[in-house]
Structure 1
Amino acid sequence: MGKMFRATLAALLAIVLTLGAASAVMVDEEGYLEEILLEDGDQIEFHDAEMSESLEASIAKVNELRHILLLGIDARPGQTTGRTDTMIILTVDTDNQKIKLMSLMRDIIVAIPGHENNRLNAAYVFGGADLLLQTIENNFGIQIDHYVGVNFSMLADLIDQIGGLTLTVESEYYMDRINAVIKEDNKVLGIDENDGLLTEPGEQLMTGKQAQAYARYRYGTSDGDFGRTARQREVITKIFYKLVDMSMVELSALAMANIDNVVTNLTLQDIMLLAPAMLSLKDAEFEELRIPVDNGYSFQTVRGMSVIVPDRTKTMEAIAAFLTEE
């Protein structure tokens, strides 16, 4: 990537890149493939969505909007491949001055082209971002041409660089869950496991390390991945509102400091087309959706693991309503 391209990318896409960073989470390395790969013969039947003419028309309108897939990638030093545990579709709606964030739960069972049915995040393991984009389009009808992937290690540093985030820890119980994640990260980094722990619940200015743990914890809570995706969207929103108050010089410096942790298929032309839209959204309203939607999925157990089976018709209807506002 040439210096001119890197500088342009930094200046014009700092907001998008840092939104991608906010979607980044760390996943457990040990046993990862065993967790997501179904045994031979373990299949879940899919039923096509019942597409009315009005729903088909709405999905066509969905694909007139700009979508970027934000990926949180775990690719640590010495590893040749990364894994994605967080997938958020960013939609830029300039007509309505809105930025829309749609989280895709990693445990959703989907049809993956060229492979057996599997969890959604398996598509990235099998074929990288290109296969994941194709899988999302085939299963949810959303045509996404571009992605921005960010290494999980970028998030904590980035939040520190913008002065931290004000977040609320509801109780000591949840503080302990956050601190457990911080301790795990400290062990990976080879530092004192008690470094940077939270000391009390309530609203507080968090460091990057603390905010990253806030966005990632899920074990020991009743809402699990559902609650985690909500916190990830909260962190993304708060980062965005900090970024839009920064100058172009500050944005450029921020992005250039973190760009080595970014992978994207955006070209310079793509960036030039996208930049005016992103930079015009200082007062944009954030809207959020989680897939699967409430009352639109069931749980099934495969090899002792719980997976999410979405109701495809309800899912497509929810996506169309969310993105087209019809």
Structure 2
Amino acid sequence: MAAVLLAVVLVVAAGGAAAVTYLAQLSDAFDSQAVRIPQAFPEASLRPAAAEPRPDSRSPINILLLGTDTVAADGDPLVAGSQGSRTDAMMLLHLPADRQQLHVMSIMRDLWTNIPGYGEAKINAAYAHGGAPLTVRVVEEMFGTRIDHVAVMDFEGFGSLTESLGGVEITVDQAFDSSHLPGRRFNAGPQLMNGQEALAFVRERYAYSDGDYQRVRNQQEFIRAALAKFLTMETLTNPGRISDVVSKTAPYVAVDEGLNAAGVAGLALELRDLRADDIKMFTLPTAGIGTSDDGQSIVLRDEAAIAAVGRALRGDTLDQYLRALPAGG
């Protein structure tokens, strides 16, 4: 899922903070094991212009993170969505030009929007209809901003990441009985979870009155917890653990051809001082839930919020946008 992919990218990047001598090895491991998406983007004529570099020659970077639980022996659905799989999670990762923070915006998978060539549908249907290129096009048209990289992750990688970290301590906001692990009750409060438990935690939605909204909050909580676990001296000074995280997770990741070893190494240098507190997470505001003309339960677009986020992304002012949100917004 998308939450895991964020951790993978930062895992490799944070390796530079531990020991630069290991960076090439880690990047090569990621490059050799991750699946490549040969055509990740729509044709150029359909895309917004790329961001202009800032005075320090850096540009803001937008990475679209997608998660799917469809698995095939050859991994192809990671690349093309060729079996009609829909994305179970969608996040837009924004790195501002100054690289002082990292913003992660969750997009509700049932958000009702226009899918070019298919009409109105839930946003996660874009992947089923046209894989990564169509999904990128939908998000770019929604916010009027360019996506620089795209990545997809198989759910199986979620457990691998958690296990490679030796488990992750996650704070459960609402107690629930798991629909994915029959007989397992998750009590409220912090608890150490293994890979199977963490996967069940972030996939749960039926136990909550607000369904996917709480699931998105759980996914964001996992990101916080996984990064907090990784960005500790215990992990950062342990090259073996860093290598284990990368090698066990990378095979479940598909990335565009530009997000290769060289690209990851560059991000590593730019993000070497980033810490868990610098990760700012939020969910794209919506106008609540509703029902489509054909009877589907959907999430309604908040057009004002979409326009405001689009302006903030284009102007690289997302931090200002977030500071202006009401508490809990």
Fold conserved (TM > 0.5)? yes
SS in 1 for 2:176: helix
What's the CA shift for 1:235?
0.4
1:182 aligns with 2:181: yes
- Structure 1 equivalent of residue 15 of structure 2: none
- Does residue 1:107 correspond to 2:86, yes or no? no
Question: 1:122: which partner in 2?
Answer: 125
Q: Is the 8 A contact 1:92 1:277 kept in 2?
A: no
Tell me, in whole angstroms, the C-alpha distance in 2 between the residues paired with 1:141 and 1:255: 33
Letter in 2 for 1:309: L
The residue that corresponds to 1:146 in the other structure is 149
**1:61 offset after TM fit, Å?**
9.8
CA contact (8 A) 2:164 2:248 kept: no
Moved more, 153-162 or 300-309: 300-309
Contact kept in structure 2, 1:11 and 1:252, CA below 8 Å: no
* AA at the equivalent of 2:126: A
Is it true that 1:159 corresponds to 2:178 in the alignment? no
Once the two structures are superposed, what CA deviation does each residue of 1:60-118 show, in whole Å capped at 9, x if it has no partner?
A: 89994111111112222458534311001112236262121100111112222232222
> Paired residue for 1:257?
248
Aligned in 2, Cα 1:91/1:217: closer, same or farther, shift over 3 Å? same
Instruction: Give distance in 1, aligned partners of 2:224 and 2:98.
Output: 19
Indicate the residue corresponding to 2:70 in structure 1: 75
Three-state SS of the structure 1 residue aligned to 2:63 is strand
Using the alignment, how far apart are the partners of 1:119 and 1:323 within structure 2? Answer: 25
Q: Deviations over 1:5-56 (max 9, x none)?
A: 9852546999xx9xxxxxxxxxxxxxxxxxxxxxxxxxxxxxxxxxxxxxxx
Which of these residues, 212, 221, 233, is aligned with residue 208 of structure 2? 221
Q: Is the 8 A contact 1:73 1:151 kept in 2?
A: yes
Quote the sequence identity (%).
Answer: 28
Rounded to whole Å, the distance in 2 between the matches of 1:170 and 1:311 is 26
Q: 1:313 aligns with which of 304, 311, 320?
A: 304
Cα deviation, 1:178-223, whole Å, max 9, x if unaligned, reads x22223xxxxxxxxxx5xx347554321222112211111113122
8 Å CA contact 2:289–2:299 kept in 1: the answer is yes
Q: Which runs of 4+ in 1 moved over 6 A?
A: 11-14, 59-63
Pair 61,121 (structure 1): closer, same or farther in 2 beyond 3 Å = farther
Compared CA separation, residues 107 and 249, structure 1 to 2 (3 A): same
TM-score by length of 2: 0.69
Superposed CA offset, 1:253-293 (max 9, x none): 321122221111123443233221233313652212212x1
* Secondary structure of the corresponding residue to residue 223 of structure 1: coil
1:243 and 1:87 mapped to 2: Cα distance?
A: 22
User: What is the aligned partner in structure 2 of residue 240 from structure 1?
Assistant: 227
Per the alignment, residue 168 of structure 1 pairs with: 171
Hey, what's the Cα distance between the residues in 1 that align with 2:114 and 2:320?
28
What letter is aligned with 1:280? D
Residue 132 of structure 1: SS of its match in structure 2? helix
Residue pair 2:160, 2:248 contacting (<8 A) in 1 also: no
Per the TM alignment, residue 249 of structure 1 is displaced from its structure 2 partner at its CA by 4.5
Following superposition, the deviation at residue 232 of structure 1 comes to 0.4
Q: Does the 8 Å CA contact 1:10/1:251 hold for their aligned counterparts?
A: no
> Helix, strand or coil for the counterpart of 1:275?
helix
> 1:199, 1:67 → 2: CA distance?
34
Report the residue type matching 1:181 in the other structure. H
Q: Return the offset for 1:146.
A: 0.9
| 1:202-213 correspondence to structure 2 within 5 Å | 202-213=189-200
Contact 2:289–2:297, Cα closer than 8 Å, also in 1: no
Gap change, CA 1:282 and 1:94, over 3 Å in 2: farther
| Counterpart residue identity of residue 115, structure 2 | I
CA contact (8 A) 2:68 2:154 kept: yes
In structure 2, the residue matched to 1:29 is none
Query: 1:94 and 1:280 mapped to 2: Cα distance?
Result: 14
RMSD value, Cα = 3.3
Residue 289 (structure 1) aligned with residue 286 (structure 2): no
Asked if 2 retains the 8 angstrom alpha-carbon contact of 1:70 and 1:90, the reply is: yes
Which runs of no fewer than 5 residues in structure 1 stay unpaired? 18-58, 184-193
Contact 1:75 1:151 survives alignment (8 Å) = yes
State the AA in 2 paired with 1:267.
N
Instruction: Give secondary structure in 2 for the equivalent of 1:281.
Output: coil
Q: Does 1:273 align with 2:249?
A: no
